[in-house]
């Protein structure tokens, strides 16, 4: 029985890292005229009300997007990110936080396509309603996004960006991500795949980057953002990471300009910091 609802965590520090990188991937990959297909295996609800009972319970967004919302001194990529969030808040208040598919739709061009999967029935219904007016550019699928990739790859345009962003509610998701990437690279070796993962005091979380690095060969990027020290009881999210297969050229340069700012802005204690590794041939 699926119980995870992303609304509890919408706009937190992990979302900020994920969506800053996601936005830069979209910006760089829409610079070529050829159509881009964007596939999101765990699309969630599309957007989240920050005054809902989910988001309001712990107010995680306050230490995420909330710390950037009113700043006027941000570097370009972070200004762009905040602008994408503002697009869903025309009255100027921070009430709605866009999910990865909504950010993608705001950036994609008429020739591009967005393919979404969500397994949680309530989230999938909200996702379908959210994109009901988007037309043929957006396809919402109820079901397992891992399985959905097998029928969707390679995309007709042979240009694709895939986001794998499961909840990691169970340990099975770690193995499922590795299996999906392995199969995806066999079907579509030149695709760009972005994997988000939580930094937890769990063996699977700690080993995942090493496993992905072995799969990636010589063309990858790995970034982490830690906002606090791990808790003594071993519970809780102290940071998150993104691993990108076949990243666009100079993605690392764009991220190096903003990661120090993010680490300072979102720090919860003196242990906050970031890492960035990249290898491209």
Residues noted as catalytic: 165
For 119-133, the three-class secondary structure string (H helix, E strand, C coil) is CCHHHHHHHHHHCCC
Spatial CA neighbour of 198 closest among 2, 15, 11: 15
Alpha-carbon 57 to chain mean position? 22
Starting from the edge strand earliest in sequence, which strands make up the sheet with 138-142, in order? 138-142, 113-118, 37-40, 160-164, 192-199, 239-245, 220-226, 273-279
Compute the distance between CA of residue 217 and CA of residue 44 in angstroms, rounded to an integer: 30
Distance CA 19, CA 11 (A): 9
CA distance 4 to 29: 31
Q: CB within 8 A of 73, min separation 6: which ones?
A: none
Question: Which residue, chain included where needed, has tokens 């994609």?
Answer: 108
DSSP-derived secondary structure for 172-220: HHHHHHHHHHHHHHHH-TT-EEEEEEEE-SSHHHHHHHHHHHHHHTT-E
Pairing of strands 37-40, 160-164: parallel
Which is it for strands 220-226 and 273-279: parallel, antiparallel or unpaired?
A: antiparallel
Is the sign of the CA dihedral 184, 177, 244, 126 positive or negative?
A: positive
The H helix count followed by the E strand count for the chain is 10, 10
């Amino acid at each position: 029985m699926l119980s995870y609802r992303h609304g509890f965590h919408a706009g937190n520090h992990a979302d900020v890292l994920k969506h800053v990188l996601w936005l830069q991937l979209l910006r760089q990959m829409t610079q070529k005229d050829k159509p881009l297909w964007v596939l999101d295996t765990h699309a969630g609800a599309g957007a989240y009300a920050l005054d809902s009972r989910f988001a309001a319970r712990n107010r995680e967004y306050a230490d995420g997007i909330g710390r950037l919302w009113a700043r006027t001194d941000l570097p370009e990529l972070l200004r762009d990110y905040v602008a994408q969030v503002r697009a869903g808040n025309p009255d100027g208040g921070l009430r709605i936080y866009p999910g990865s598919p909504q950010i993608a739709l705001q950036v994609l061009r008429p020739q591009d396509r967005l393919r979404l999967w969500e397994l949680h029935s309530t989230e999938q219904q909200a996702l379908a309603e959210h994109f009901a007016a988007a037309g043929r550019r957006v396809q919402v699928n109820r079901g397992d996004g891992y399985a959905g990739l097998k029928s969707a790859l390679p995309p007709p345009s042979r240009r694709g960006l895939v986001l794998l962003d499961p909840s990691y509610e169970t340990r099975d998701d770690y193995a499922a991500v590795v299996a999906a990437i392995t199969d995806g690279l066999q079907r579509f070796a030149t695709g760009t795949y972005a994997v988000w993962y939580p930094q937890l005091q769990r063996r699977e979380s700690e080993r995942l980057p090493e496993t992905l690095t072995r799969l990636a060969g010589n063309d990858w990027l790995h970034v982490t953002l830690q906002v606090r020290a791990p808790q003594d009881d071993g519970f809780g999210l102290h940071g998150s990471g993104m691993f990108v297969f076949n990243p666009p050229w100079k993605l690392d340069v764009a991220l190096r300009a903003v990661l120090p700012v993010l680490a300072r802005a979102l720090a919860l204690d003196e242990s906050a910091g970031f890492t960035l590794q990249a290898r491209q041939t």
